[in-house]
Amino acid sequence: MRVVPLALCAALLLPQAATAKVTRYLTGSAANPEPTLHGPVLNLGGGGLDVDSALQAMIDLARGCAGGACSTKVDVVILRATGSNGYNDYIYAMNGVDSVETLVITQRTDTAAAAINTTIRNAEVVFFAGGDQCNYVTLFKGTPVETAVEYVLEQKHGAVGGTSAGMAIQSPTAYDACVAGVTSADILANPYHRGATFTRGFFNWPFMAETITDQHFVTRDRMGRLMGFLARQIKDGYATSVMGVAADEQTSIVVDANGLATVYGNPGAPSTGYFVLADHAISGTDKVAAKQPLSYANFKIWKVPAGGTFNLANRPSLGSYTISVSNGVLSANPY
């Protein structure tokens, strides 16, 4: 199959009508309850085992049910580029769920199908499964599917989330992995590594301005990678201050309608969220250049365990601790 570059894809005119080749899996009622919603709500999952309590919290916040104690029910749509219906029974069993429908969309042209977009718009909760974030940005950015997802969160005040690759695309600057995967060692040695590619302006959610998300964070030692990504945004003129929002595996960060981010984790798992701030211009001993080790002083870091919170609406200015990078080496253990 011929691969069309993302920049060209975004410029293509989508057909007015398309015969959908989307695979659909519906569990539950085909009716459309259309309840009053209480979002916007975001669910940012770090990958690995899903966090039941975070998914339930997302659903409960969207339907306005503190502690799940109400009769309001919502429809959930799972968006995938690969895979099957693994989420259907799992989420359908949660409190307040009227239906779960998985849409497996593999071709960009199928995003124009009216039936697909109606299904998404009729949902109260949209969740992106894990996989490859390059698939998501290539398939969905600049399409009616993107518009439909935005409608759920911004117009209906519902909930949107994702895990792993599904979390990667929830920040306005997303590491897209469309060229190659990169590690902390790669980026600390060269913040302009060829694999450090970004998609900007896919989703611009409330409280997520000037952020980059990262996942599998401690498990895959991605602090150095995230630091390089943040320093790049400042050096390249995209931001004067930018925050990393990162979750380890078996960790989810749920952001409510007031911008309060709560960290959820599975029982017994070392679940942690990290908020990492780069907030000064490149100066002094800082060095953010191609094919040269990264140097950037005083990243501010907030380490938030399961049950803890971080206010994304009124972000603090003093980190719990700071870490500097000098010639590609971190000044201390960042975790």
Do the strands 251-255 and 41-45 form a parallel or antiparallel pair, or are they unpaired? antiparallel
Fold of 18-170: Rossmann fold (3.40.50)
Q: State residue 319's pLDDT score.
A: 87
Confidence class for position 257, pLDDT limits 50, 70, 90: very high
**The pLDDT of residue 2 is above 90:** no
Strand-pairing partners, residue 322, are: 300
Domain positions in the chain are: 18-170, 173-335
Question: 3-20 b/e with 16+ CB inside 10 Å = b?
Answer: eeebeebeeeeeeeebeb
Q: Is the separation of the CB atoms in 241 and 298 below 8 Å?
A: no
Question: What pTM value is reported for the model?
Answer: 0.92
The answer to whether domain 18-170 and domain 173-335 are alike in fold is yes
**Span 231-246, mean pLDDT?**
97
pLDDT one-digit tens code per residue, 62-81:
999 977 779 999 999 999 99
**The pLDDT of residue 225 is above 70:** yes
pLDDT one-digit tens code per residue, 272-327:
999 999 999 999 999 999 999 999 999 999 999 999 999 999 999 888 999 999 99
CATH of domain 173-335: 3.40.50.880
**The pLDDT of residue 109 is above 90:** yes
Task: Identify the sign of the CA torsion 22, 23, 27, 30.
Answer: positive
Q: State residue 190's pLDDT score.
A: 98
Least confident of 14-23, 207-216, 290-299: 14-23
Q: State residue 286's pLDDT score.
A: 97
Confidence class for position 21, pLDDT limits 50, 70, 90: confident
**The pLDDT of residue 135 is above 90:** yes
